[in-house]
Amino acid sequence: MASYEELQESVITGQKDKVEGIANSLLDGGIKPREIIPKGLLPGMSVVGQRFKTGEMFIPEVIASAAAMNRGLEILKPLIVGNELSDMSAGKVVIGTVQGDVHNIGKSLVGMMMESGGFTVMDIGIDVPADKFVEAVEEEKPNILGLSALLTTTIPLMKDVIEALKRSNLRDKVHVMVGGAPITQEFADSIGADAYAADAVSAVDKAKQLMS
């Protein structure tokens, strides 16, 4: 039977097929899926996160690792019953790019790193109007709402989302995180966001701080 170390290494090196094979091998060996995820997949991604933070791993390599981890999750998640899955989650995140802005890459990268950090992520896409964010918060009840914008012209719309949450009496029910190239801590403070992250790795750290 394969080992957790091999599974971790396959995640780190981004080998999807190998992750699938090892996950199945561990299942065949009688290991429970709720043990394989925290002992094999997530520790592998944790190493990836650390190596990305120190500049040892590059973004495409991180994406390959995340894809490998997701291949494992696709096999294991359906086998987990009851509340075990949500109990394992570090928290729920809804993330999207604000209205008028169709930039996807940075937002997706943050979502991916959040998933790697153990969060359950719901990506609601690009060019998202304020009322759609409100709707998602109402329905999904996330712990964190992530707002992304790349254009200098669309960052003011982040404030609109926060105002819309206030009007719907949802502002105190969700942490709001903002990010994107033109965003600064000062801007985040000025619109009343709970956190700002300058890159995808620090976004995970900030999210964990918000959850603690």
Q: Given the rule CB under 8 A, which residues bind other proteins?
A: 52, 55, 57-60, 100, 102-103, 105-106, 109, 152-153, 155-157, 181-182, 184, 186-187, 199-200
Nearest-approach distance from CB 130 to other proteins, in angstroms: 14
- Which pairs count as long-range contacts for 9-13, CB under 8 Å and 24+ apart, including other chains? 9/44, 10/44, 10/68, 11/40, 11/41, 11/44, 11/45, 11/48, 11/65, 11/68, 11/69, 11/72, 12/44, 12/47, 12/48, 12/51, 12/65, 13/65, 13/68
Closest CA to 67 of 90, 41, 28: 41
Nearest-approach distance from CB 10 to other proteins, in angstroms: 22
Q: Which is nearer to other proteins, 198 or 210 (CB)?
A: 198
Nearest-approach distance from CB 171 to other proteins, in angstroms: 20
Pairwise CA distance, residues 178 & 184, whole Å: 9
Q: Which is nearer to other proteins, 23 or 201 (CB)?
A: 201
Q: Which is nearer to other proteins, 38 or 182 (CB)?
A: 182
Q: Which is nearer to other proteins, 184 or 209 (CB)?
A: 184
Nearest-approach distance from CB 119 to other proteins, in angstroms: 18
